[in-house]
Structure 1
Amino acid sequence: MFLEGIDGEEALAWAKERSQRCVDKLDPATLSALTTRLQDGLDTDARIPMPRRRGERLFNFWRDAAHPRGVWRTCTFSEYSSDTPDWQVLIDLDELAETEQENWVWKGAHVRSPEYDRALIRLSRGGADATVIREFDLGTGQFVRDGFHIPEAKTDVSWVDIDTLLVGTDMGADTLTDSGYPAHVYRWRRGTNLGEATLEFSGERSDVAVGGWHDTMPGYERTFYHRSIDFYRSDTFLATPTGPVRLDVPEDCSVSIFRQWIFLNPRTSCFDIPAGGLGCQLFDAFLSGDRNFHQVFTPTARTSLQGLNFTHNYLVLTVLDNVTTRISYAPIDTPWAPQRPLKDIGASTARVAGTSPLRDDEIWLTYETFTEPTQLLHGQVGGDITPIKTAPELFDARGIETRQHWATSSDGTAIPYFITGRFPEEGELARPTLVHAYGGFEVSLLPGYYATRGISWLEAGNYFVEANLRGGGEFGPDWHAQVVKTNRYKVWEDHRAVLEDLTQRGYTTREQLGIRGGSNGGLLTAGALVQYPELFGAAVIQVPLTDMLRYHTMSAGASWMAEYGNPDDPQERAAIMTWSPLHNVDKQRTYPPALVTTSTRDDRVHPAHARLFAAALEDALQPVDYFENTEGGHAGAANNAQVAKMEALIYTWLGQQLQASTLSNR
């Protein structure tokens, strides 16, 4: 079908016409006012410029009204600590894009350590995952003439030394996996052509991706290779003079190596480490055959390991306890010692924003709630940690509270969710309510302060719900494993249970209830639309997967078969057929209105998923609106202006469908 051609003239005309039709249906005054307010919030100079320390300097990427594409800049810690840091701009992306006549979108910088003298800059055309990589000299503040340059591809790269890279990229025929990622690792030396790089390691074409990295920790310099067999199974290899040696750990076990230690986080128990736990052993002893691991973290039914970080002298763990964060630490010399709490952060979401293990015990933390803006803290593990910057309050949160409830899924599993809003002390409890959910890939949904949501939805008196469905990582690997492949249908049972619980508790009604999700969450909301349309009043379906009988042949789809199943396997195909949204559109049922969105430049989830689903709903005479952004990649937007436009469009559309309070009638 013509809609499957990403840049086909007919497909783009179809998308443009429907996108304009969608905008024309919205109240222009509300849309314009909300877009302006959202962009003002996104561009405000009062935001926290989140830093990354590299040596003695801090680096930050920043977008604002004057720099919509953004600037990469640097300053010292003392300058950063002031109210008005003296930033040195290294790369002005707007200037670069204009000079080169390219639609550049920033995708990050890989700074060489421990020298911190060069960086590999990733630039994307229009926000796609594929990037161009260029070498940048931090001393001169210029791109290196005739330096390392890797053409547009989904590239994996690591510094070995000033003149050597480990590279996995598109080198021609048979160099990519079926998922479109590198299948080989090459050693590329300065002064030679990329095509002359030496092959170091190879995986299989059926792998998701293959990569290599060089550990630059002084005294522990080592090279490793990694095969992602599927999304949850992998092999790690150590480079030796006689060739790569596979580390003898189960394929479903995550491996972290820091200085003298190897840490294992298995999905199923191994070496007496429980599933979801963390164990450690001396790396040299492990290589010699010792499998006696120390227990560092043991999960419970309601706790899960979310993060592992290191400073010079400490191991730092981030754990979820009933979907609330706690961070603790132990000496790196005895990581199994009893953990000490890092800081009392209460019932909020805390994250480790950065450490400097090559330097000292510095740590950067953020914490936030649904109604409290992000606060950035800085200090030393084992010492003082104090607030250094606080984000502005961008919406009126007075009287807004958060409650946690548990719904009961069809098989009896308790499903937690947070609901946030102004709860009346008396009178009618029901309000327009928006439910966001994801339910996949071990992604944990945590409380967070989002100005776009607060301005567009919460401030007006509506409710917002974050649902922690199975498939996420909130309660460890089993919480995810219960709903993969042929058990995928349970995600919708969990979602349905939350929707029913909300109406049973009186928070909302079917007509006032909206659902929203993107990517895998877009699959969730598209599936909800065709499975239980009678439970809600509107659905927002962003960058979704919908054609689940062919998803593994489109863009990066082959990499997700461990999650959804293989459509070429008869048993798994039969299961997928029961919930694939595109194949279950029904002309005989009545669906609530749906808004389907995507990006032309999305090279992760093919835009045909969204196009074909919207077209199928049209053919079935179901109410559907469609919007396709020509930029933005899988994120759906490439800059603050596009984010503001997209969020204003979604919330204005929701307000009209659910008769919710909006900016124009507060």
Structure 2
Amino acid sequence: MRILPALIGAAVLAACASAPTPETNVTAETKVQTAPFNAASHLWLEEVEGAEALAWVTAQNTRTLAELEADPRYAGYEAAALEVLNSSERIPYGTVRDGFVYNFWQDSVNVRGLWRRTPLASYANETPVWETIVDFDKLAADEGKNWVYKGADCFRPKAGGKYSCLVSLSDGGKDAVINREFDLEAKTFVDGGFVTPEAKQGLAWAGRDTLLVATNWGEGTLTESGYPFIVKRWGRGTALEAAPELIRGKETDVGVWPMTMELEDGRILEGAVQAETFFTSNYFWFPEGESAPVQWPIPPMVSINGVYKGQFLFSLQQDWAPEGQAAFKAGDLVAFELEQFLTTRKLPPVSLVFRPTETQAVDGVAVAKGAALLAISDNVIGKVLRLEPSAGGWTTTPVELPGTGQVGIAFSDDNETTVFLSYQDFLTPDSLLNYDIATGAVTTLKSLPAKFDTAGLKVEQFFATSKDGTKVPYFIVHREDIKLDGKTPTLLYGYGGFQVSMTPGYSPVMGRNWLEQGGAYVLANIRGGGEFGPNWHQAGLKLNRQRIYDDFIAVGEDLIAKKITSPEHLGIQGGSNGGLLMGVMLNQRPDLWNAVVVQVPLLDMIRYHLLLAGASWVGEYGSPDVPEERAFLETISPYQNFDASKPYPVPFFVTSTKDDRVHPGHARKMAKRFEEAGLPFYYFENMDGGHAAAADQTARAKRSALEFTYLARQLFPEAKQD
């Protein structure tokens, strides 16, 4: 089954004075007194590639790079990050197609990357023999383009034959892409094949010669969020503009996307998903030969997981009481007989597949040829269960794993019997595991050597008490012999939104550039995330969002109360929605931290819905056009609540010119407020990279080195600068 919502939910002047050199301590007496704030005065910074805006960005980049790159620690941080990111000792995760493993690979030589493949037997070896499919450095050079590979969608009918593929290419890492048909056997783009113009788009194969397409069809065909709301059926050999329309949503939708399901007997169900908000959707099926779509009889807040042994699986993000049937709870995984629905067009009896406990959450379901697997989080520890329907209901069988860390289903496909799992934790490098469908056995296919020194390190889980009494878990990685004297440099990371879970993961860059230097790392599992299911997320929506910020503050205060660290040595970091979290923390508790890394952030919450994809997130944050919700947003919006009289720590803003999801204007305008107030700050805007703020390993290493240099200067006692 293919569902293609291009959503995340889900993250930089001539004749103008630059900010003063960042300092560690700035008193209120040194701050510039400014006139009453006029937000309209900064709108020029929203012109992404405006000459004046880019001149200001260049000046800030130049100033920040000059200072941080001159720090004696910078070169070592960058070298360590490059060594890790470009190392050949990385697991080449991939997709299995017809006996081959396909993988995308970047290193110091292949900066833009290779799309390559190797036979399954070779893949199992320590040094597989790879065959290059596309060299993206060469492709970009030959075509004079700034191509960034964004993935491939391949289709082959269950009856057999060769694969048909679409390769997605982005200009500089943007979400907007073009799609070009590719021949895997000939290893070339198909002459006269399917090609789409650049847009934020969704496509789904409905057969070898048919695509369902949602794209920018011209003026008036995009939602307020900048996504398409019209789906058409495009046949091979016909003009895209002439494709017949299948369904049309509304401009106020987040977007409408194509969806296809290939059933076990080879039939392909064509359909679409109309995302009315980021979290609510209507699902439609287009019966062959009929003009009107049929809506699926499921609630609006669900995640569709696939079809296994004729059972249509979906997980609930809301409580649901189907008429005449048992009631289900948010977080439940449920199913019904698909063929019965296709025949009657009515909801069949719904069965409960799995109900998580209060400390569990459904992370995902994967269907392979002959097995269905369920990944869950249990008190933020990953587990995998095998699912089977029976006359007495569904059964679950635990899959044996090597430890208690983060587990994911790295690959499964209903056309393939191969299943790959991934495992890691804070101190254990990635392992790629093979799950044998026939026996249920798990074997290690590949594992990485240690990339940083873990001797003397330990991981603990604690619970902080939030303002309303809620227990908020967090992990901390630190030295076993840590002195509880409040002097340990500590980096606290948080996100808190869109039901995205923060789970234990192995980070060699963090290990080398922070943990080996004596720092502690903390991962907060605050509300807004998905660690404990839909209710944990929904507890922090819209007018309740302050709970998320109270949770994060509680974790920071708990670290200080335990004397692990102190405000002088405590830094925080977050990106995208986590960048908003960082901005709020700057305003609400500037006294609690001495370093704040604000990555690809949302910061102007009064205009966010007018910038790029912002309108798609009103279901998370609330709408500035709704008086009650605007009134709340005005109390938390970092940009509007900036106050030059506050004892701000020196922040570091990181964004990307090519980010067409979260507008770089957010970071630009907030930094401008610091500049106008005469307050120190760092600012770096990568001219490429999209929402990741980096499109290749070299750029990722540079950004990381800048951030760790900044953190060291702010948090390590010996790092104070004269």
The aligned counterpart of 1:229 is: 276
Q: What is the CA distance between 1:247 and its match in structure 2?
A: 1.0
Report SS of the residue matched to 2:573: strand
Report SS of the residue matched to 1:603: coil
Match of 2:363 among 300, 306, 329: 306
What does 1:181-580 correspond to in 2, within 5 Å?
Answer: 181-219=227-265, 220-240=267-287, 241-242=289-290, 243-258=292-307, 260-270=310-320, 271=322, 272-286=327-341, 288=344, 289-332=346-389, 336-360=393-417, 362-381=418-437, 382-424=439-481, 428=485, 430-580=487-637
Q: 262-271 vs 141-150, which deviates more?
A: 262-271
Contact 2:489 2:520 in 1 (8 A): yes
Q: What is the CA distance between 1:189 and its match in structure 2?
A: 1.2
Report SS of the residue matched to 2:612: coil
The aligned counterpart of 2:87 is: 44
What does 1:15-34 correspond to in 2, within 5 Å?
Answer: 15-26=57-68, 27-34=70-77
The aligned counterpart of 2:108 is: 65
**Distance of 1:489 and 1:432 partners within structure 2:** 27
> If the length of structure 1 is used for normalisation, what is the TM-score?
0.97
The aligned counterpart of 1:129 is: 175
Q: What is the CA distance between 1:363 and its match in structure 2?
A: 1.3
Q: What is the CA distance between 1:56 and its match in structure 2?
A: 1.7
Are residues 1:13 and 2:69 paired?
Answer: no
Q: 378-387 vs 100-109, which deviates more?
A: 378-387
The aligned counterpart of 1:35 is: 78
Residue segments in structure 1 that go unaligned for 5+ positions in a row: none
Amino acid at match of 1:255: I
Are residues 1:152 and 2:198 paired?
Answer: yes
When residues 45 and 257 of structure 1 are mapped into structure 2, their CA distance, relative to the original with a 3 A threshold, is: closer
Q: 417-426 vs 192-201, which deviates more?
A: 417-426
Amino acid at match of 1:364: F
**Distance of 2:242 and 2:718 partners within structure 1:** 62
When residues 89 and 4 of structure 1 are mapped into structure 2, their CA distance, relative to the original with a 3 A threshold, is: same
What is the CA RMSD across the aligned residues, in angstroms?
1.7
Residue segments in structure 2 that go unaligned for 5+ positions in a row: 1-42
Amino acid at match of 1:54: R
When residues 410 and 420 of structure 1 are mapped into structure 2, their CA distance, relative to the original with a 3 A threshold, is: same
Amino acid at match of 1:65: S
Report SS of the residue matched to 1:534: coil
Report SS of the residue matched to 1:226: strand
Report SS of the residue matched to 1:469: coil
Q: What is the CA distance between 1:182 and its match in structure 2?
A: 1.3
When residues 462 and 18 of structure 1 are mapped into structure 2, their CA distance, relative to the original with a 3 A threshold, is: same
Amino acid at match of 1:224: G
Report SS of the residue matched to 1:284: helix
Amino acid at match of 1:13: A
Match of 1:608 among 647, 651, 665: 665
Contact 1:112 1:118 in 2 (8 A): yes
When residues 596 and 258 of structure 1 are mapped into structure 2, their CA distance, relative to the original with a 3 A threshold, is: same
Report SS of the residue matched to 2:395: coil
Amino acid at match of 2:315: N
The aligned counterpart of 2:215 is: 169
**Distance of 1:554 and 1:41 partners within structure 2:** 36
Contact 1:47 1:392 in 2 (8 A): no
Match of 2:147 among 81, 104, 115: 104
Q: 594-603 vs 386-395, which deviates more?
A: 386-395
Q: What is the CA distance between 1:342 and its match in structure 2?
A: 1.0
Amino acid at match of 2:457: I
Q: Which has the higher contact order (CA 8 A, sep 6+)?
A: 2
Q: C-alpha deviations, 1:533-564, integer Å up to 9, x for none?
A: 01111100000000100100000000000000
Report SS of the residue matched to 1:535: coil
Q: Percent identity?
A: 39
Q: What is the CA distance between 1:290 and its match in structure 2?
A: 4.5
| Count of aligned positions | 662
**Distance of 1:2 and 1:390 partners within structure 2:** 50
Q: What is the CA distance between 1:216 and its match in structure 2?
A: 2.6
Contact 2:206 2:268 in 1 (8 A): no
When residues 321 and 482 of structure 1 are mapped into structure 2, their CA distance, relative to the original with a 3 A threshold, is: same
Q: What is the CA distance between 1:425 and its match in structure 2?
A: 6.3
When residues 310 and 134 of structure 1 are mapped into structure 2, their CA distance, relative to the original with a 3 A threshold, is: same
Contact 2:253 2:275 in 1 (8 A): yes
Q: What is the CA distance between 1:255 and its match in structure 2?
A: 3.1
Contact 2:306 2:367 in 1 (8 A): no
Q: What is the CA distance between 1:263 and its match in structure 2?
A: 2.1
